[in-house]
């Protein structure tokens, strides 16, 4: 039986079933399949709360359509506080006490890598929804870990492809000093140098995550006198960097490339202070006109009275992936679920998605465009949706990076 979003929506229109409360109990536990959810809800709520809302919406639709294998899906949700050790402890409890079939979620790369190690060591299925570190499916990858969101390498490659068309030769980078930031810089440099051997990187700044001294970072970048800047900061760090950079004229007459900068979670809070003309990845939700996305957008706005963020659609797609996997596996036995995840394809609001057998990375893509300000709000313009399958290294390179397990 093939699980499709169309079938879910059709059934949802004919029946209304209450979603099980996140983390709550269900009257008929034997008729449910429990999914463990681990995320940094308190540490970065601007991203994780929309994620949870996307999860809730998908679960409501799936359960309204009769669930999976005749059972309702129940989410058992826990907050990891952004701490890898806490996330692993929670994972152990979810399997031992709550009897979940698998775990999913997480946002920060260091947390995702800790859960990846846990999954491999304990032979438990883990679907990493949002962590972007490349090592999660390559150097640290294992049989039991899969990732939905386009990786750091994929999104950096999309940006590098466009950046290579600009005449800029002298580049500087700024990124948070942890796994995601390091991977993002390494991937961008690798792809850009392949496409433009003449470029050089004249400065690298590595502020601590959420500890940026924006004035000092901007001063250091200005001193290097680059033609272009690759920015990987996000959240509060991004806001401080943008404001200080504008004040000191750092961005004037320079190409600025921003990984994730166009996402509503990060550009919305800047309002009319949002940067203009930056080349970014993001989520232009208000301009996507495909029927699949319009159905998702209408349902999301109807449920929550607000527009979705990138976290919303990642959360929604995560639950669609799990439901599709369970239908394919026909079982909650771990090895059967893992086998079902390999090569799994399903429909989503962003288009068809497949989990590659070679490295367990999904082909979910990303939106690439330029930033602008309209009616006092930052938006994306001149954007395109890039299929993630087109921005991954060749299979022989993947085999060299990934363990055989």
The rounded average pLDDT for each run of 10 residues, N- to C-terminus, in the chain (405 residues) is: 44 39 41 96 92 98 97 98 97 98 95 98 98 94 98 96 97 94 94 97 96 97 98 94 97 96 95 96 97 98 98 98 98 98 98 97 98 97 97 95 81
Rounded to whole angstroms, how far apart are CA atoms 102 and 93? 12
CA distances from 165 to 69, 157, 174 (A): 50, 13, 21
Q: Residue 404's pLDDT is what?
A: 72
Q: Residue 180's pLDDT is what?
A: 87
- Edge-to-edge order in the sheet of strand 145-147: 72-79, 32-39, 102-105, 126-128, 145-147
Rounded to whole angstroms, how far apart are CA atoms 120 and 136? 11
Closest CA to 25 of 64, 61, 75: 75
Q: Residue 22's pLDDT is what?
A: 39
Cβ pair 297, 51 in contact under 8 A: no
Rounded to whole angstroms, how far apart are CA atoms 300 and 77? 20
Rounded to whole angstroms, how far apart are CA atoms 335 and 315? 24
Cβ pair 145, 128 in contact under 8 A: yes
Q: Residue 391's pLDDT is what?
A: 97
> Which domains occur in the chain, in start order?
5-151+288-364 (3.40.50.2300), 153-287+367-401 (3.40.50.2300)
Helix (H) or strand (E) holding 20: none
Rounded to whole angstroms, how far apart are CA atoms 215 and 352? 43
Cβ pair 216, 244 in contact under 8 A: no
Residues 6 or more apart in contact with residue 258 via CB below 8 angstroms: 231, 232, 238, 275, 278, 279, 280, 281, 371
The phi and psi torsions of 331 (rounded to 5 degrees) equal -165, 160
Rounded to whole angstroms, how far apart are CA atoms 353 and 375? 34
CA distances from 328 to 26, 60, 332 (A): 25, 20, 11
Of the chain, the end-to-end C-alpha distance in Å amounts to 30
Question: Token match 């059934």: residue?
Answer: 11
Q: Residue 102's pLDDT is what?
A: 98
> Collapsing DSSP states into helix, strand and coil, what is residue 390?
helix
Tokens matching residue 59: 């679960």
Q: Residue 253's pLDDT is what?
A: 95
Rounded to whole angstroms, how far apart are CA atoms 42 and 295? 30
Rounded to whole angstroms, how far apart are CA atoms 50 and 309? 6
Quote the DSSP letter at residue 358: T
Q: Residue 405's pLDDT is what?
A: 62
Rounded to whole angstroms, how far apart are CA atoms 114 and 159? 28
CA distances from 20 to 13, 59, 219, 332 (A): 18, 9, 51, 19
Tokens matching residue 117: 């190690």
Cβ pair 135, 360 in contact under 8 A: no
Rounded to whole angstroms, how far apart are CA atoms 79 and 123? 22
Rounded to whole angstroms, how far apart are CA atoms 317 and 51? 10
Rounded to whole angstroms, how far apart are CA atoms 318 and 130? 9
Q: Residue 403's pLDDT is what?
A: 86
Tokens matching residue 85: 């050790």
Please state the pTM of the whole predicted model.
0.89
The phi and psi torsions of 99 (rounded to 5 degrees) equal 55, 45
């Amino acid at each position: 039986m093939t699980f499709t979003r169309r079938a879910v929506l059709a059934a949802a229109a004919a029946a209304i079933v209450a979603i099980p409360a996140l983390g709550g109990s269900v009257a008929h536990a034997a008729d449910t399949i429990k999914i463990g959810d681990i995320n940094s809800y308190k540490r970065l709520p601007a991203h994780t709360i929309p994620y949870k809302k996307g999860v809730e919406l998908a679960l409501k639709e799936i359960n309204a359509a009769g669930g999976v294998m005749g059972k309702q899906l129940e989410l058992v949700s826990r907050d990891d506080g952004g701490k890898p050790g806490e996330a692993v402890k929670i994972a152990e409890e979810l399997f031992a006490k709550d009897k979940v079939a698998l775990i999913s979620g997480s946002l920060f790369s260091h947390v995702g890598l800790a859960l990846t190690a846990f999954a491999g060591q304990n032979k438990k299925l883990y679907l990493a929804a949002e962590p972007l570190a490349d090592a999660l499916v390559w150097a640290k990858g294992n049989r039991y870990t899969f990732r939905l969101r386009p990786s750091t390498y994929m999104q950096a490659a999309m940006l590098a492809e466009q950046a290579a068309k600009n005449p800029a030769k002298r580049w500087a980078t700024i990124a948070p000093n942890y796994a995601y930031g390091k991977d993002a810089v390494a991937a961008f440099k690798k792809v850009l140098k392949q496409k433009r051997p003449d470029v050089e990187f004249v400065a690298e700044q590595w502020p601590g995550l959420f500890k940026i001294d924006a004035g000092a970072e901007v001063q250091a970048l200005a001193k290097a006198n680059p033609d272009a800047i690759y920015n990987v900061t996000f959240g509060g760090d991004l806001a401080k960097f943008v404001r200080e950079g504008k004040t000191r004229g750092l961005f004037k007459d320079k190409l600025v490339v921003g990984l994730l900068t166009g996402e509503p979670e990060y550009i919305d809070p800047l309002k009319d202070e949002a940067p203009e003309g930056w080349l970014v990845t993001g989520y232009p939700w208000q301009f996507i006109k495909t029927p699949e996305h319009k159905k998702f957008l209408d349902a999301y706005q109807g449920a929550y009275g607000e527009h979705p963020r990138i976290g919303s659609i990642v959360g929604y797609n995560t639950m669609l992936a799990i439901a599709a996997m369970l239908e394919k596996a026909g079982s909650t036995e771990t090895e059967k679920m893992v086998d079902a995840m390999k090569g799994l394809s399903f429909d989503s609001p962003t288009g068809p998605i497949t989990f590659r057998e070679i490295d367990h990375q999904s082909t979910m893509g990303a939106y690439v465009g330029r930033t602008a300000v309209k009616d006092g709000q930052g938006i994306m313009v001149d954007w395109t949706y890039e299929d993630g399958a087109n921005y991954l290294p060749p299979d022989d390179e993947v085999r060299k990076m990934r363990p055989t397990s």
